[in-house]
Amino acid sequence: MLTALLFFCLVGAFAGMIAGLFGIGGGVVIVPALIVALNQQGVDPSVVIHLAIGTSLAIITVTGASSALGHWRKGAVLVDLLKRMLPGLVLGAVLGGLIADQLRAELLERYFGVFMLLLALRMLLSGPPKAGRRAAGLPVMFTVSTLIGTFSALFGVGGGVLSVPWLARNGASLARAIGTSAACGLPIAAVGAATFMLTGQGQASLPTYATGYLYWPAFAGIALFSVPCARLGVRLAHHLPPRLLKRLFALLMLLVGLTLIL
């Protein structure tokens, strides 16, 4: 257990840095790491991916709060856009949790691998999001926000990989798109984590110290280190050009995605 806790702490440090730097919540790091750790601990494979996603969402609630607060203090959260996206994000988070509960573990793991590959390719091939366009109308905003919430909760990510480009297309500068995205991740993660906790109740194969699909030792170890590192990531996001790190991170996502699929 001590070795696992140390591993969780290292994952938390890296995930927190990524969350603050890119406003992405850290789930793309946390979920694959938890899959490895839980398999090593002998957890029933039928619940590993669900536990990884549910725990990731709970951790992102903490990490995202730290990241969002840092961006808020720097004036990088656009409240009007956040309010317009909020209903769709909440609905999508519930839908994502319910859909995940209906999928078999091996299918969900492969879908997550495909999701990682698509995100990695997008990060490698796309340039900076173009800002300055007018905000979309409420029907379009609600539809897109619901999709962002659904896919984010389904795969245990904070939503930034989807919401940053969308926010930039709706008039936000890149720095404010990242900051607002961090705030968007909070309702997705909180509602999604609660849904995973509820849908996981009664699963006989859950490990000790799990509440539904939330594994508390992983939550504690990762959250402890992700919060201070998220604040460091926020500082870097406002001072360093993240192009090289972005490409290296995308390559890591490619490797993880291929591993999960194969």
Q: How far is CA 224 from CA 8, 60, 67, 178, 219, in A?
A: 9, 12, 14, 23, 8
β partners of residue 211: 214
What is the mean pLDDT of the segment spanning 123-145? 75
User: Beta-carbon neighbour count of residue 196 at 10 Å?
Assistant: 29
More confidently predicted of 174 and 48: 48
Structural domain containing residue 37: 2-261
Backbone torsions φ then ψ of 210, nearest 5 degrees: -115, 140
pLDDT at residue 99 in the model: 94
- Of 19, 17, 21, whose CA–CA distance to 237 is shortest? 21
Tell whether the model's pLDDT for residue 150 goes beyond 90: yes
pLDDT at residue 40 in the model: 85
| pLDDT per residue as tens digits for the range 17-58 | 776 676 565 677 788 888 888 888 889 999 999 999 999 999
More confidently predicted of 149 and 14: 149
Distance CA 193, CA 57 (A): 5
pLDDT at residue 24 in the model: 62
Tell whether the model's pLDDT for residue 237 goes beyond 70: no
Task: Decide: pTM greater than 0.85.
Answer: no
Average pLDDT of every residue of the chain: 83
pLDDT at residue 227 in the model: 75
* Number of domains comprising the chain: 1
pLDDT at residue 36 in the model: 84
